Structure 1
Amino acid sequence: MSCTFKTTRRVEFHETDMAGIVHFANFYKYMEQAEHEYFRSLGLTIVDKQADGSIIGWPRVSAQCSFESPAYYGDLLEIRLNIERIGVKSLTMEYDLWRGKTKIARGRMKTVCCQFTHGSPMQSIAIPEWMLLKFEASMDQAE
């Protein structure tokens, strides 16, 4: 599968332990940052305020990451995001994190499109057609 979106990120000192190795929890932040940049590249946002005052958002259903090689303070990481699956209400995204030719980690997150209305519980909804078209177009361009 072709890469849907790529971004880079420099490892900062506060993300590492005393040996200069990235703490595992930061990989989830890196994946989320790539997801937000991907949405912005499509003209979308993770928190989309609607005219009726409700908000469309994307809470996580699951997240996982496996590690292949350490990342260190100062490394420039390339994060490659692929849309694995577009469901009726969900997106499943895969992430590959690289330092040059060295694969650092592989992750996956599943998010669900939800509507948040003041005073009501969050409700999962079908991905709006205008969003769906943008996700599908980005996948077509990657192929």
Structure 2
Amino acid sequence: MSCTFKTIRRVEFHETDMAGIVHFSNFYKYMEQAEHEYYRSLDMTIVDKQPDGSVIGWPRVSAQCSFESPAFYGDLLEIRLTIERVGVKSLTIEYDFWRDETKIAKGRMKTVCCHFTHGEPMKSIEIPEWIQQKIEDSQHPTT
């Protein structure tokens, strides 16, 4: 059984169009912000600096979002993040957006674990065991 990470964010005026409706592009930003909060809840970061100065990070491979109802300036949106799949090198995350009992949108993002060394091209790597363990622990919390 998977566990869902939840976060709340208020729609800001600058995120809306002239009708006061959230511009679709902001949902991708909301997904990324929720992802960052999820990593922080695991005592991690999206950019993990290594002792040798290199970095482990998560570039996006794909992102999509479908919309069911508009969100408006001032709305409080609950973003529910669920790990859909942990691959050997990739992570697929689902995002559900709610305003009270109204489903606003559903998104999905796939990222790949990569190693970045200054002056070299990025390289996809297997998700390190310590990261896999933190994700696994978050999906099966102890009671």
TM tier, smaller: over 0.9
Alignment of 1:68-87 (within 5 A): 68-87=68-87
Give the RMSD, CA atoms, in angstroms. Answer: 1.4
Distance 2:141 2:110 in 1: 22
Unmatched tracts of structure 2, length 5 or more: none
In structure 1, give the amino acid aligned to 2:102: T
Give a deviation string over 1:29-63, Cα, whole Å, max 9, x none.
Answer: 00000000000000010001000110000000000
Q: Is the counterpart of residue 141 in structure 1 residue 141 in structure 2?
A: yes
Distance 2:63 2:31 in 1: 10
Q: Give the superposition deviation at 1:4.
A: 2.2
Contact 2:114/2:125 (8 A) holds in 1:
yes
Matched residue pairs, number?
Answer: 143
Q: Secondary structure at the match of 1:130?
A: helix
Q: Is the counterpart of residue 6 in structure 1 residue 27 in structure 2?
A: no
Contact 1:3/1:80 (8 A) holds in 2:
no
Displaced runs of 4 or more, over 2 A:
1-4
Q: Secondary structure at the match of 2:140?
A: helix
Q: Secondary structure at the match of 1:22?
A: coil
Give 1:111's aligned residue. 111
Give 1:44's aligned residue. 44
Identical columns (%): 80
Give 1:35's aligned residue. 35
Q: Secondary structure at the match of 1:141?
A: coil
Q: Secondary structure at the match of 1:131?
A: helix
Give a deviation string over 1:10-32, Cα, whole Å, max 9, x none.
Answer: 00000000110000000000000
Alignment of 1:62-101 (within 5 A): 62-101=62-101
Unmatched tracts of structure 1, length 5 or more: none
Q: Secondary structure at the match of 1:29?
A: helix
